[in-house]
Amino acid sequence: MSSTKETYITIGTFLIFVICFYVLGFWLIFRMGQATPLMLSVGAATILTCVVRKKSLIDLGWRWGSWKIQ
C-alpha cells in the first residue's frame, strides 16, 4: 500500500472517531451540563486512531521537551 493511501486512511479514521466522540460529547453535555467531553474528544480520537492503525504515540511527537530554567 502506498504511503499516500495510508495517510488518507489514517486521516479518515481520525475524522470518523472525532465525529463519533463529538456526537457522544454533545449528548453528555445535555446530560451533565459541562463541556469537558468535547475537550477530551480530540485527544481520545487521536489515541484510538493510533491503536486502530497500529501507530506509536511517539510518532506523533508527544514526548517530554528539554528542561529549561525560565
| pLDDT at residue 61, as a whole number | 76
Range of the domain at 42: 3-52
Residue 65 sits at φ, ψ, to 5 deg, of: -85, 180
Tally of residues, the chain? 70
33: in domain: yes
Query: At how many degrees (to 10) do helices 36-52 and 3-32 cross?
Result: 150
Q: What is the separation, in whole angstroms, between the first and last Cα of the chain?
A: 46
40: in domain: yes
Q: Which of 51, 20, 2 is nearest to 60 (CA)?
A: 51
Q: Per-residue pLDDT for 40 more than 60?
A: yes
* pTM confidence score: 0.73
69: in domain: no
66: in domain: no
Domains of the chain: total? 1
44: in domain: yes
62: in domain: no
Look at the block and give the residue holding cell 446530560: 31
Q: Per-residue pLDDT for 35 more than 80?
A: no
47: in domain: yes
32: in domain: yes
